[in-house]
Amino acid sequence: MKKVLLATTALTFSAGFAAADGHTGVTISGSAEMGIADRDIDGRSVEFIQDIDVTFSFVGETDNGLSFGAAIDIDEVQGLETDPDGDAVDAATNNDFDDGGISVFISGDFGTLTLGDTDGAFDFAIAEAIGGGSLQADHEHEGYNGNSGLDGASDGQILRWNRNFGDFAVALSYEQDATANGAEGDTAAGETIGVGVRGTFGDFIVGVGYQDNDIDDIYGISVSYAFGDFNFIANYSDRDTTGNSYGLSATYGSGPLTLSVNYGEIDQDQNAAVDDLSGFGLAANYDLGGGAEVQFGYGDNDEADTSTWSLGVSMSF
């Protein structure tokens, strides 16, 4: 298992994390990138880009076999904020009520319980219709839906339980109605509750999910199909306050080469003042070995009438 956590929307854990690495303790992993990009924003042309991300992962095990751990993604850590005494503190590491790039878990025969910056049950179950990678996520576009559902609509800290049952995985998630500093909540969304199920049927993986709070709800389904060197993903979701969205992707991978194309639409059915969004993305990756990969990404945005691309080397450590 490569000890790398690439930049994602959330940190995730599985019960097999410690066993797969064969040890407990502290792991430092990370990623970096360098290259060029054309953002098609404010008249800027091609420019240099670089980034670095560091993750500290901690894993332990109790005497009776429970696994526990935590991770902090330095790239996600928020800046300073003021505590109740008026002192400036780091939002992620000194505020017990802030997720700020931190996730903590404990797992055993009961499954895995995770709290913090992690996926809700909807996002856990629904596959994203995308493949490959690019330095600035340029193969994502305005019509792309990352399936975050209603995550973050309440206080931002997600409590998720998930467990595998043979070919099926089940997840439940909960966000309390509280402000970021832990005060009793009065947010419009209230509590957010989610459920998700993912099942494997031969070469097919099917996921279904649902989330609900006081002002919104969303349900969705995804289907993934693997055939030889090809992988196809289709997903659909319907959100009460906006409308439906869908995505399609096809990925080819053979040896060091990965090629991927995706298309997506977000229909703003419930808001006549907002136009529908759509676009497509391309990604081409060539694995150089040792954690280095050449990446090209391109995204085209129909409504904004813009396009972006990037080219360079992604490095994982």
Distances from the Cα of 238 to the Cα of 130, 175, 217, 275, 280, angstroms: 19, 20, 8, 17, 20
Contact 266, 279 (CB under 8 A): no
Q: What is the pLDDT of residue 228?
A: 94
**80-82 and 292-301: which strand pairing?**
unpaired
Q: Is the pLDDT of residue 82 over 70?
A: no
Global pTM value? 0.81
Tell me which of 26-30, 93-97, 138-142, 224-228 is least confident.
93-97
Residue range 106-142, pLDDT digits in tens: 999 999 999 998 999 999 999 999 999 999 899 999 9
Residue range 137-165, pLDDT digits in tens: 999 999 998 888 899 888 778 999 999 99
Q: What is the pLDDT of residue 242?
A: 83
Domains of the chain listed by start with CATH number: 17-316 (2.40.160.10)
> In this predicted model, which residue has the larger pLDDT, 185 or 211?
211
- Cα(5)–Cα(27) distance, integer angstroms: 11
Residue range 13-22, pLDDT digits in tens: 443 344 345 5
Q: What is the pLDDT of residue 74?
A: 80
Which residues touch 92 (CB under 8 Å, ≥6 apart)?
72, 76, 77, 78, 98, 99, 100, 101, 102
Q: What is the pLDDT of residue 270?
A: 62
- Cα(175)–Cα(118) distance, integer angstroms: 11
Q: Is the pLDDT of residue 6 over 50?
A: no
- Cα(107)–Cα(120) distance, integer angstroms: 17
Q: Is the pLDDT of residue 94 over 50?
A: no
Nearest to 145 by CA among 242, 28, 215: 242
